[in-house]
Structure 1
Amino acid sequence: MPRRIVFGFGFWLTAAATAMTIASIVLPRWVRWESGGGTSIHYSYGLHQRCSSITGTCEPFPQYDDCHGDSKSFCAMWRTTGFLMSFAVIIECATLVAYLTVIFGGKQMRDKGWKVVCFLLGLCILVQCASMAVVAYLYDNDSRFFIGWRLDTSWILCTVSWSVQFLTAIGISAAVFVLPEEGGYELIQGDS
């Protein structure tokens, strides 16, 4: 029974991480600029939208102008980040299905299924870290991000998401080796 509890706890942590990943995709807050004065002027870039406080609206991003001329590489890299983050959500959903299969699949499934769960968690961590690396590269090297820009809420949500998944994978791996085997046999006491 202890391993079922461990997998159940891991399932809820992974579900929370998945919600954070989805929120990081939906919120247009990967990179943000705010004016330093008393006025509250700001621009923010999300994976699929760009918002401005001046117009009070959000528009699809990147647009045609963002993808031609000198900005061609920026556009390709930004769209790659959007693809990788969407792929991460698919992997997270597959991980949740793997959890359910392991939890309700019986003792043998729990004895062997932890490897699949940990592999999927590791794959998701790699995909999210690659996404963050692309955004960090653009943030450091693209001319559109000058002084005053900063990484924002979606970046933080993505970081917390893969960190939770990393700790979950470590916890499940440790539980497999530390906890006693589930449903083992009891020794028969002999007559002495």
Structure 2
Amino acid sequence: MTRLVVYNVALGVFVAATILTITSIMTSNWVEYSVTAENTNATFSHHVGLHRSCSLSATADKTTCRPFPDEDDCRDDQFFCSMWRSSGFLMSFATVVELATAISFLVVMLGGKYKREEGWFVIAGLLIADAVIEFAGMGIVAYLFNTDTQFDVPGWNLGYSWILCTVSASVSVLLAIAFSLSAYFLPPEDDYEYVGDGESVDF
């Protein structure tokens, strides 16, 4: 039996995971490059996000950003652009799934004991769907990082935005597992019993 306290804790954790997802989309740190000149100790860094690319030079002390990938990026590498944009689409779609999941949380939690006992399956399914979509988006970026020639130069690394996405997807999987375990192993609430078509009788 999945109790209300399980839903409350899970909802709090899920909201935190959703914030991580949104942060990963909004920040431009999926792939990062940093190099320091030996003679001047000046540092140049380049950060690539799902929708923009930013550069920072220590000498200029100014961050310059542009849309990414743009027409120049795609002129010679259509495959990279298509895959990178697919990753951005998947992450945006993940936020839609997370919104649907949050609504499902509220519907089940406010729907009474019967919905709490039966509704966990829907929420767990949405959590798994969210995780699959996020892992797909994260996996595309990791694949491009490992295979595309523009990241062959030493100094490129997967950034914290990529890590936030990975953590968010992992949390969704863990929550789905927690719901399944609580549904099968927690004892039922003892103030009612099911009769007939699923209606409850209070004692």
TM-score, normalised with respect to structure 2: 0.87
Structure 1 residue 160 displacement after superposition: 0.9
Q: Which residue of 45, 51, 54 corresponds with 1:42?
A: 45
Which amino acid is the alignment partner of residue 154 of structure 1? S
State the partner residue of 1:189. none
Percentage of matched positions with identical amino acids: 44
Distance 1:28 1:160 in 2: 17
CA RMSD of aligned residues (A): 1.6
Please list the CA deviations of residues 88-147 of structure 1 after superposition, one character each: whole Å capped at 9, or x if unmatched: 011011101101111110111111110000000000010011111100110011011022
Note if contact 1:23-1:154 (Cα within 8 Å) is conserved in structure 2. Answer: yes
Deviates more, 1:54-63 or 1:128-137: 54-63
State the partner residue of 1:135. 141
Q: SS at 1:113's partner residue? A: helix
Distance 1:172 1:156 in 2: 24
Which amino acid is the alignment partner of residue 33 of structure 1? Y
Following TM superposition, the consecutive aligned residue runs of length 4 or more in structure 1 with deviations greater than 3 angstroms are: 183-186
State the partner residue of 2:123. 117
Distance 2:127 2:74 in 1: 33
Note if contact 2:50-2:87 (Cα within 8 Å) is conserved in structure 1. Answer: yes
Distance 2:157 2:36 in 1: 13
Hey, which of these two has a bigger chunk of strand by percent?
2
State the partner residue of 2:92. 86
Deviates more, 1:55-64 or 1:110-119: 55-64
Alignment: residue pair count: 185
State the partner residue of 1:11. 11
Distance 1:45 1:168 in 2: 30
State the partner residue of 1:58. 65
Structure 1 residue 182 displacement after superposition: 2.1
Q: SS at 1:29's partner residue? A: coil
Structure 2 unpaired stretches of 5+: 194-203
Note if contact 1:13-1:165 (Cα within 8 Å) is conserved in structure 2. Answer: no
Distance 1:56 1:170 in 2: 42
Q: 1:168-183 maps to which residues of 2 (within 5 A)?
A: 168-183=175-190
Q: SS at 2:53's partner residue? A: strand
Structure 1 residue 18 displacement after superposition: 0.5
State the partner residue of 2:108. 102
